[in-house]
Chain A
Amino acid sequence: MQDDTDTARATDSVYDRIDRARASLTGPQIAIAVALVAALGFTLLFVQDPMLHDSLHNFRHSAGITCH
């Protein structure tokens, strides 16, 4: 039994990881993680609201993101 798990780990592949994620994660968990990343990315990169956009002006130039 222990040998089987060791062999499985030795031949660990990206497909195994996808299966593991399917088996161990619930839909809402995945949704929350994806939403967090999307919200962060959207706020930092694409929000054009003048207040937020101007506040992040120096950050965008420091990170090499240019809008104009």
Chain B
Amino acid sequence: MATDYLERGAVAGVAGGLVYGLFVATVGNAFTAGLETFEHGHGHGGGPVVSELTTTVASVGGGVLWGVLFGVAAFGMAYFFLEPALPGTGATKRLALAGAGFLTASGAPWLVLPPQPPGVEQALGTDTRLAWYAGMMVLGALVAALAALAARRTADRHAAVRLAATAAPLALLAVPVALAPANPVHGDVPASLVAAYRWTVVFGQLLLWATIAGVHAWLGDAETRVSEDLDYPATAD
């Protein structure tokens, strides 16, 4: 039963990963390579130790595995436990979990630590940033849980009331954004290009989560198969 969920989560993850790998192959690799032309003295020193081709191929593979990771963790494991608590039915449940996953893994942390293009140095140390990132992941998950709870509580209200109640917990995210330490960056990438890069990254992650959710919904529920399993021992008895 639970392994059935794991299987469908993994399949959805592979599908999402392949689409995201295509995104890295077509947009990510070229965009990153282009932004690198603004780079002066990369933080790691001494330049990359692998060829450009290796980076290109490995990064596409990394994109595929990124989808597998989200598919297995969110839709293979978390969905099994959270399915009864997620608002709505069918595809809505999947989209709710995908939204929660995006908010937890990327959305909330990026409010404090937005994605940075290559060649941009950040003032905050790596350890400080890791701590803030982890903290924002926890808060993102909490906000997503509160939003799901609000959506369920207002299930029989007017759609507008329900939408407002569901979105209200997002306001909590403004608190750490206001309290976060300043993280001045310096680099030669033009501000408009940084903005374009950031939004490309955001839409890339949204595409990944949406694809996993869509494929998972398309794979259907385990309910029918579960009841079939239950029927067998009943007739055997």
Contacts and interface: CB of A to CB of B under 8 A. Distances in A.
User: A and B bound?
Assistant: yes
Interface of A: 1-2, 5, 12-14, 16-18, 20-21, 24-25, 29, 33, 36-37, 40-41, 43-44, 50-68
B116 A66 contact: yes
B59 A20 contact: no
A61 B28 contact: yes
Nearest to B42: A68
B179 to A, nearest CB: 21
B3 A59 contact: no
Q: Is the interface of B mostly helix, strand, loop or mixed?
A: helix
A60 B27 CA distance: 13
Interface in B182-227: 198, 201-202, 204-205
A63 to B, nearest CB: 6
Given A37-B73, A40-B68, A68-B121, A14 B82 contact: yes
A12 B59 CA distance: 41
Interface of B: 1-3, 6, 23-24, 27-29, 31-33, 35, 42-44, 48-50, 54-56, 58-63, 65-66, 68-69, 72-73, 76-77, 80-85, 106, 110, 113-118, 121-122, 126, 198, 201-202, 204-205, 230, 234
B62 A56 contact: yes
Nearest to A40: B69
A67 B83 CA distance: 34
Given A33-B72, A40-B68, A44-B69, A62 B24 contact: yes
A55 B83 contact: no
